[in-house]
Amino acid sequence: SQTIHQWPATLVQPVGSPLSLECTVEGTSNPNLYWYRQAAGRGLQLLFYSVGIGQISSEVPQNLSASRPQDRQFILSSKKLLLSDSGFYLCAWKLQGREKLFFGSGTQLSVL
Amino acid sequence: KNEVEQSPQNLTAQEGEFITINCSYSVGISALHWLQQHPGGGIVSLFMLSSGKKKHGRLIATINIQEKHSSLHITASHPRDSAVYICAVPFLLFSGGGADGLTFGKGTHLIIQP
């Protein structure tokens, strides 16, 4: 069966420190991968998506970057965190052409 | 860009009550998602529907494509139903059957009191 793993679950980082959030999918191949962010009091917003290894597209300009070094691995990074990067980050996957979307358990990031 | 509006934003009800959460969107879609987010943050997909009605246990989701409106109903509500319920509609990130993202509503925070 397909599963999605996202870690860490919570993270507290000082302003200016780097960030690396990892997401891996099991039980499927060539998934579309997504990073979403949910800021306090706001809906989920798409940050990045990927349709294949090394293929990353950004939906909104920001202080973050994403990479897909392997087919089922999606990484969200930052070189220097800002206070405004605080939020709840969700990784998700779906198969191209299919409607159903599967979410990871999320990472609560607090930048202090 | 599709605008997704949910109502109410917050809802507190007594155990056993019939619950209705509404979602409207501005641009025609192929399908709509209802999601449930628990206090820990994890999100679970409840329904994906493109027409009519779907039922799963005490949850019922309906959609009217012409009116661009969907509702999520909970019958015989229970405290364990307390969560944030989110509707989301897809949008194409690029054409040709490529990736699509979701535009999310801000969610309805539901509390069911015993």
Q: Torsions phi, psi of B78, nearest 5?
A: -135, 150
Query: What are A66-95's pLDDT values in tens digits?
Result: 999 999 999 999 999 999 999 999 999 988
- The DSSP output letter for B39 is T
Select from A80, A109, A106, A104 the least CA-distant residue to A26: A104
Looking only at the bridges linking them, the beta strands covering A102-103 and A107-111 are: unpaired
Query: What are B50-82's pLDDT values in tens digits?
Result: 889 999 999 999 999 899 999 999 999 999 999
Average pLDDT over residues B1-24: 94
**Across the A/B interface, how many CB contacts are shorter than 8 Å?**
59
Please state the separation of Cα B36 from the chain's center in Å: 8
Contact list, B54 vs chain A (CB under 8 Å) = none
* Spatial distance between the Cα atoms of B28 and B23, rounded to a whole number of angstroms: 13
Contact list, A55 vs chain B (CB under 8 Å) = none
* Spatial distance between the Cα atoms of B85 and A79, rounded to a whole number of angstroms: 34
Task: List residues of chain B with CB under 8 Å from any CB of chain A.
Answer: 4, 30-31, 33, 35, 40-45, 48, 86, 88, 90, 93, 97-99, 101-102, 104-107
pLDDT at B34: 95
Residue by residue, DSSP assigns chain A as --EEEEE-SEEEE-TT--EEEEEEEES-SS-EEEEEEE-TTS-EEEEEEEEETTEEEESS--S-EEEEEETTEEEEEESS--GGG-EEEEEEEE-TT----EE---EEEEE-
Q: Torsions phi, psi of A83, nearest 5?
A: -55, -40
Residue type, A20: S
- Per DSSP, the three-state class of B81 is helix
For tokens 């397909």, what's the residue? A2
pLDDT at B96: 38
Contact list, A50 vs chain B (CB under 8 Å) = 99
Is A77 in contact with A68 (CB distance < 8 Å)?
no
Residue contact B30–A49, C-beta within 8 A: no
pLDDT at B28: 76
pLDDT at B99: 57
Average pLDDT over residues A23-29: 93
Average pLDDT value for chain B: 89
Residue A60 in this model has a pLDDT that exceeds 80 = no
CB-based contacts of A72: which residues, under 8 Å, 6+ apart? Answer: A24, A25, A26, A28, A29, A31
Residue contact B45–A42, C-beta within 8 A: no
